[in-house]
Amino acid sequence: MSHLIQLALAEDIGPGDVTAEYFVPADRKANAFVSIRREGVLSGVNLAADVFRTVDPSLSIEILIPDGSHVSSGALAIHIQGSARSILTAERTALNFLQRLSGVATLTATYVKLIAGTQARILDTRKTTPGFRLLEKQAVLHGGGTNHRIGLYDRAMVKDNHLVAEGGIPNLQQAILRLKAEKPTVEVELEADRLEQVKAFLNLSGVDHILLDNMSLDELRQAVALRADRHHPALEASGGVNLHTVREIALTGVDFISVGALTHSAPALDIGLDFNSL
């Protein structure tokens, strides 16, 4: 992710940090801690440390709490020592990464906790910040969630518009078989918004997942009951998922619940830098 760090630093520093250059003596040393100000789950600690190292390789960096850790307010995640100018120049970019990714991990952990005791797992989506997908999906893992497909290349996900373009169930079956023959490691997921579609899809060969889109709780339970094999194809609920509805959805018996909010609406975790000159 060095390219993202370089890009972030370039847009922030530009031709130079004029505040540090004119208001902080060049020989001033500092001792700083990345401090957690609200309970949550950390993600991006290593990335934040790399930001400081990129700005100044001579800085002494010690990671005190690793990614994936549940933390309380007041915890200290990273210790940095060295040039005060360098620490101050790197501060905002490092915190931007860490706050954003820890926010994703924290929200994911909240959803995961709410469905504890059910067989369902929380999935992310492709609704990620452009360029941040791998980082945000890693943050979902840190929060205890599960990754859906990474992009358009690692799972075929046939939605309503694809179904219209494909031209019906017979053509759909032929397309699935052709994909399985040419790319056997790629899974196939079909989107259904009606129980009639679920019934039709269950009769197809080569279907690995069925997405149950915006179905009611009763429809979700009926879809689960339609499946002869309780484990295949996997059933994924999507639409209308929030912190108030997720447990009831999980209790219907679905295998996965996809939540776009994990990455498109996660609030940043409150994290700061406590700074002392030496």
Label residue 228 by pLDDT band (50, 70, 90): confident
User: What whole-number distance in Å separates Cα of residue 267 and Cα of residue 80?
Assistant: 26
Give how far the C-alpha of residue 77 lies from the chain's centroid of Cα atoms, to the nearest Å: 21
- In the structure encoding, which two tokens stand for residue 34, read together? 């990345």
Are 63 and 19 spatial neighbours (Cβ–Cβ below 8 Å)? Answer: no
| 8 Å CB contact between 272 and 96 | no
State the catalytic residue, choosing from 213, 219, 236, 255: 213
Active-site residue flag, 11:
no
**What would the pLDDT profile of 193-212 be if each residue is shown by its tens digit?**
999 999 999 999 999 999 99
**DSSP E strand stretches across 84-152:** 121-123
Confirm whether pTM is higher than 0.75.
yes
Residue 140's pLDDT is what?
98
Annotated active-site residue in 37, 127, 227, 247:
127
Asked about 191 being catalytic, the answer comes back as yes
Answer whether the bond into residue 25 is a cis peptide, omega within 30°.
no
> Which residue in the list 113, 159, 178, 194 is annotated as catalytic?
159
Mean pLDDT throughout 181-202?
95
Query: For 232, which DSSP code?
Result: B
CA distance 188 to 58: 49
The answer on pLDDT for 52 being more than 90 is: yes
Task: Write down the pLDDT at residue 22.
Answer: 97
Find the catalytic residue in 136, 189, 191, 236. Answer: 191
Tell me which of 28, 53, 92, 133 is the catalytic residue.
Answer: 92
262 pLDDT above the threshold of 60 = yes
Which tens digits make up the pLDDT trace of 124-180? 999 999 999 999 999 999 999 999 999 999 999 998 766 655 567 888 999 999 999
**pLDDT at 15 exceeding the cut of 70:** yes
User: What residues contact 128, with CB distance under 8 A and at least 6 apart?
Assistant: 136, 137, 263, 264
Assess whether 127 carries a catalytic annotation.
Answer: yes
Q: Which domains does the chain have, with CATH numbers?
A: 2-105+267-277 (3.90.1170.20), 112-264 (3.20.20.70)
Q: What is the DSSP code (8-state) at residue 71?
A: E
Phi, psi of 54, deg, nearest 5: -65, -40
